[in-house]
Every structure is written in C-alpha cells, then in structure tokens.
C-alpha cells in the first residue's frame, strides 16, 4: 500500500464510523434542540492531514452518504461538505488555521448557512426558519466541543500511520 | 506539467464534485419516487449501513433510555409532588362538596318537614352551634320561642331529643339516647311502653309493664303523648322482644342516626311537655329515672 493510501483508508474508516455515529447516537443528543455534526468535524480535521483532493473526495462521499441515509436531496450535504473542505484547504494556512479545532467553528457556521441557502433554493426551507439561528449559534459550538475530543484521537490514528509508513 | 498541476490543484476536483452534487440534486428533487436512480442509491446505502446502525442502536438504546430516565427523574418527582398536592386539594374539596350536598339535602327536608309540622305545631329551625357532653347547643333561645321541654327533630323528621336548658339566645338539647326521662311510646298494635336513653348512640331501652305476648322484630315505635307529641317516630326493634314475667324489657334501635353530625334541627313548639305520663303504672318504672322534666 502506498505511503499516502493507508492514512486515507483509516480516514475513510473513521468517516464511516462518524456517519454511523451521526445517524444513530449524535442525532439523539440534543442541546436546546440542536445536534452536533460529527461528520463536518471529521471532514475539517481530516483535511489537516490528508491531501486536498483526498479530503475533498472524503467530504463529498460522506455528505453523499448522509444524504442517502437522511431526508435531504441527494447531493445537498455532499455539496455542503465539499465546499467546507475546500474552504478549509484553500483558505486555511499557518496564519488562518482552519483545519484545526478553532477552524471547526467558522466552517460549521458556513455549513449551516450553506445548507439553509440550498434548502431555500430547492424549496425545502423557509426564509423565516427560526431554527437557523439556533443551528448557526449552537451547532458550531457543539462541533467545536466534539473537535476537542476527536482531534487527539484522529492525530494518533492518521498521523501515526503516516509516520509508520514513512519508516 | 499541466496535467500534474491539474492533479495537485484541488480546485478542479472541487468544481467537478460541486457539479456532480448539483446533478445529483436535480435528479433527486422529487423524492417521492423510490424507483429512480437516487431511490436505488438510497436503498443501497440503507442496506450498507442498516445492519451497523442496528447494532449501534442495540447498544445505544439502553444507554439513552437510562440517561433519559435519570434526566426525567427530577421532573417526575416534581410532577408527582404537584399531583399529590392536587389530589389533597381535590380530596378536601370533595369532602366539602359531600358535606354541602348532605347539608343541602337536609335543608330541603327541613323545608318540607317545616311545612308539614307547621300545620300542627309551631316550628323553629335552629343551627347547631356545637355538641358538649352529648348535648346539642342550638343558636335559638327563649327570645325565639324555645322553651324547656320542646321536642327536637333532625332534618329527616326523626325525634332526636328535647330541650333541657334554654337561655335568651341559646338552648341545649339532650339527645334521646342520653335522656333519663322516660318517653311514652306505642307500637302499631297499640301496646304502650316507655323508652329512655340506653347510654349508647345506637340504643334505647324499652320497658312495658302490660301483659304482652311479644313484640316482633321490625316493630316501629312512635311517641304516644306526654313528653312528646303523638306520632313522632322513635325507633324500632331489630329482634323479637319477649316477655320476662309480666314485663318486656328490651332494646330499641333509634330511628335517627346519632353518629351523624347535625347541622340544623327542628324545634317543635310543643307546649304539653309537662303532661304526666299516666298510661303506664308508675310502679313499673324506676323511681329515680321517672321525672317529668329533666333537670327541672
């Protein structure tokens, strides 16, 4: 297996676990009626260690599976996660560390706003949707909390794998 | 070089994926059909993730159930406390309503009784202010027309006693079951005897000195003049009263329920209370209990 493929496989495994957790466990843990989105957190953090195109594919695929398992039109969350990951890899850098725990917050807001706009465009949302404020305010904070937990785990799994392959 | 640059530049991948997303969205805008491409993809994803999700659910469900139960424990306790208070309040209210219903019924009876008796005697309706040493205190006295010796009936027109003390604004009624005076009573067959208090709420002592075979169970005794006007129901026997020599001595169960609290009574303005009981030979009665007016 190539030096870059093992981290990708492990990242995919983590993402699959994230999708399962999101659809079974995380979606049942509500704070003021809002749930965290572990898949967004995974996608943002994975972009820190994976190649940009691999991160984009991972974000797109995981979003696609969320669409397929949920009630949103297929492609909506795929598009959102693709944009989020692209924003993380293109706009982030050493001065703006978007692919970090701190970066999860603005990127989660971007995901919520983009989802809202897309739902409006396809006629599934309402302009006066009250929960968008809650989602945009509380959801990203919950994601940051999740990122604090997941960051060390992901760094151990993905980065250590990279070191092993280099050796 | 250009191909390599294209490969490393994520923008190309990004644009391609965005286009794919839009195409997929346009295919799946009508989510009502499950036969389309998106529907098949959804079925495939459900088949792929379904078993894993079920396993995770199996593990997570008890945990979430436990956490929910713990979280709602405080709420349930609070609700339980509220319900207890409501229950107590409603129970109290129910007791009040029951008491008021009984009082209402009693008042209705009083109104009827008053009309019946008013044609024969003057009547007064008096409130019961209290009960002291088995004596009932009424809020009517001599200024209202109450005199010592007036018979007193409950709301059901059943004899309960007689006035033994009267002040200007208050009077005291000695209950039938506590009376030491003998009241003259008669059976439907015309057998005349005397009753007096038995010392208990559910007991009157009956004595007759006339020669009689027996008094069957269920016989009703009514007043026969003397202390009380004729025709007031006093009580009945629950068992056959058999003669002992030339006397019949037994127990009569009073018609009035003395265990029930009284709210109102009817005072009969019967003025012949001092009439001497002369139908029964005085020798048949204990000399220390036969008086014509209690306490007087």
Residues of A in contact with B65 (CB under 8 A): none
Q: Give B204's strand partners.
A: B197, B252
Alpha carbons B221 and B271: distance in angstroms, whole number: 22
CA distance A144 to chain B (A): 23
Alpha carbons A166 and B217: distance in angstroms, whole number: 114
Q: Helices A5-24 and B37-118 meet at what angle, rounded to 10? A: 20
Domains within chain A, CATH numbers bracketed? 5-166 (1.10.1760.20)
Residues of A in contact with B27 (CB under 8 A): 74-75
Q: Is the ipTM of this complex over 0.85?
A: no
pLDDT band at B224, cuts 50/70/90? confident
Q: Mean pLDDT across the stretch B149-167?
A: 86
Assess whether pLDDT exceeds 80 at residue B164: yes
Angle at B82 (CA atoms; ends B78, B85), nearest 5 degrees = 140
State which residue of chain A sits closest to B51, comparing Cα positions. Answer: A20
**Each residue's pLDDT expressed in tens, for chain A with a length of 167 residues:** 555 567 778 888 888 888 888 888 888 888 887 888 899 998 888 888 888 888 899 899 999 888 888 877 888 899 999 999 998 888 765 555 666 777 888 898 899 888 888 888 877 666 555 667 777 788 888 988 888 888 888 888 876 555 554 44
Assess whether pLDDT exceeds 90 at residue B85: yes
State which residue of chain A sits closest to B23, comparing Cα positions. Answer: A75
Alpha carbons A137 and A131: distance in angstroms, whole number: 10
Residues of A in contact with B24 (CB under 8 A): 64, 67, 73-75, 78
Interface with chain A: mutation pick from B5, B7, B10, highest number of A CBs within 10 Å: B10
Assess whether pLDDT exceeds 60 at residue B187: yes
* A23 with B53: Cβ contact below 8 A: yes
CA atoms in the 13 A half-sphere facing the CB of A155: 10
SS (H, E, C) B196-248: EECCCCCCEEEEECCCCCCECCCCEEEECCCCCCCCCEEEECCCCECCECCEE
* A64 with B24: Cβ contact below 8 A: yes
Among left, alpha and beta (phi > 0; psi -120 to 50; other), residue B248 is beta
Mean of per-residue pLDDT scores for chain B: 78
Name the phi and psi angles at A149, rounded to 5: -80, -40
Which residue among A20, A60, A73 sits closest to B52, beta carbon to beta carbon?
A: A20
Among A113-117, B29-33, B181-185, B259-263, the minimum mean pLDDT is found in B29-33
Supply the pTM of this predicted model. 0.51
CA dihedral of residues A163, B1, B2, B7 (deg, nearest 10): -10
Which residue among A65, A74, A90 sits closest to B24, beta carbon to beta carbon?
A: A74
Render the burial of B109-144: b for 16+ CB within 10 Å, e for the rest: bbeebeeebeeebebbbbebeeeeeeebbbebbeeb
Q: Mean pLDDT across the stretch B59-68?
A: 85
Q: Hey, is B17 helix, strand or coil? A: helix
Among A156-165, B158-167, B168-177, the minimum mean pLDDT is found in A156-165
In contact, B234 and B195? CB cutoff 8 Å: yes
């Amino acid at each position: 297996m190539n030096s870059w493929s093992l981290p990708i496989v492990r990242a995919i495994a983590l993402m699959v676990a994230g999708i399962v957790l999101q659809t079974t466990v995380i979606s049942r843990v509500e704070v003021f009626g809002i749930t965290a989105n572990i898949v967004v957190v995974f996608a943002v953090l994975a972009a820190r260690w994976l190649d940009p195109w691999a991160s984009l594919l991972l974000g797109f695929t995981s979003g696609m599976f969320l669409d397929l398992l949920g009630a949103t039109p297929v492609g909506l969350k795929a598009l959102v996660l693709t944009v989020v990951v692209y924003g993380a890899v293109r706009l982030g850098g050493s001065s703006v560390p978007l692919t970090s725990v701190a970066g999860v917050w603005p990127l989660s807001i971007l995901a919520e706003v983009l989802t809202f706009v897309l739902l409006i465009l396809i006629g599934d949302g309402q302009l006066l949707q009250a929960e968008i404020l809650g989602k945009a305010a509380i959801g990203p904070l919950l994601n940051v909390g999740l990122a604090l937990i997941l960051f060390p785990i992901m760094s151990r799994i993905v980065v250590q794998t990279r070191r092993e392959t280099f050796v | 070089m250009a191909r390599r640059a294209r490969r490393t530049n994520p923008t190309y991948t990004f644009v391609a994926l965005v286009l794919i997303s839009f195409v997929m969205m346009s295919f799946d805008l009508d989510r009502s059909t499950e036969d389309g491409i998106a529907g098949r993809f959804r079925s495939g994803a459900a088949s792929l993730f379904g078993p894993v999700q079920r396993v995770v659910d199996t593990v997570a469900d008890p945990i979430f159930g436990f956490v929910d139960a713990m979280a709602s424990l405080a709420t349930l306790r609070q609700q339980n406390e509220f319900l207890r208070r409501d229950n107590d309040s409603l129970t109290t209210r129910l007791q009040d309503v029951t008491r008021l219903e009984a009082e209402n019924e009693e008042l209705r009876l009083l109104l009827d009784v008053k009309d019946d008796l008013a044609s024969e005697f003057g009547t007064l309706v008096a409130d019961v202010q209290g009960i002291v040493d088995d004596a009932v205190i009424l809020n009517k006295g001599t200024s209202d027309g109450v005199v010592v010796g007036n018979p007193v009936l409950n709301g059901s027109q059943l004899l309960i006693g007689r006035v033994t003390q009267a002040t200007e604004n208050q009077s005291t009624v000695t209950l039938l079951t506590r009376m030491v005076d003998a009241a003259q009573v008669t059976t439907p067959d015309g057998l005349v005897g005397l009753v007096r208090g038995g010392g208990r709420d559910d007991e009157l002592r009956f004595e007759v000195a006339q020669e009689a075979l027996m008094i069957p169970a269920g016989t009703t005794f009514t007043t026969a003049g003397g202390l009380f006007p004729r025709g007031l129901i006093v009580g009945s026997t629950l068992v056959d009263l058999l003669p002992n020599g030339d006397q019949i001595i037994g127990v009569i169960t009073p018609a009035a329920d003395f265990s029930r609290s009284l709210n109102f009574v009817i005072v009969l303005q019967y003025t012949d209370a001092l009439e001497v009981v002369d139908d029964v030979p005085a020798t048949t009665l204990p000399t220390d209990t036969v008086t014509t007016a209690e306490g007087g």
